[in-house]
Amino acid sequence: MTPAPDYWTPDLLDDPDSELSSDQCVIKKQVFFVRGLIEIPVIDTGEVFTWGVWVSLSEKNFIRASQLWNVSGRESEPPYFGWLSTELPLYSPTTIELKTNLHTRPVGERPAVELEPTAHPLAVEQRNGITHARVQEIAETLLHPGQSPQ
């Protein structure tokens, strides 16, 4: 799980109009993000592979999501449109700016990120699932960057 959206830079830590928490991020009171989960079914296992990502929301939707952050029943909210704001290094083309819908879940659970059903490899994997071998490939690539999977 990435600690911040790709648009966050270390100098923003000293900016009074910017804030980064484990769940939300604001940059210069102009750009708004929420952390969520892209869940990909692992074929024939009943398990789910999860990417922790950041999604940018409009100011209006960010304020609404923030107002309901600790409110029971928030999962009945309609999804919020957003843009994926995390680069996942195993995918080409880039995952930045893929269209998403952010689905709020019960209090204490990270929102689910649903990708627009395009031909992008990440969106295809979310729709169709991945094999256990693909999960292993992802893990090896992330744990041993620069080495090709065996």
Radius of gyration of the chain (CA): 16
Q: The whole model's pTM is what? A: 0.93
Tokens found for residue 87: 């680069």
Indicate the pLDDT class of residue 89, thresholds 50, 70 and 90: confident
94-127 pLDDT, tens digit per residue, is 999 999 999 999 999 999 999 999 999 999 999 9
Instruction: State how far Cα 110 lies from the chain centre.
Output: 10
61-70 pLDDT, tens digit per residue, is 999 999 999 9
Q: What confidence score (pLDDT) does residue 121 get?
A: 98
Q: What confidence score (pLDDT) does residue 82 get?
A: 98
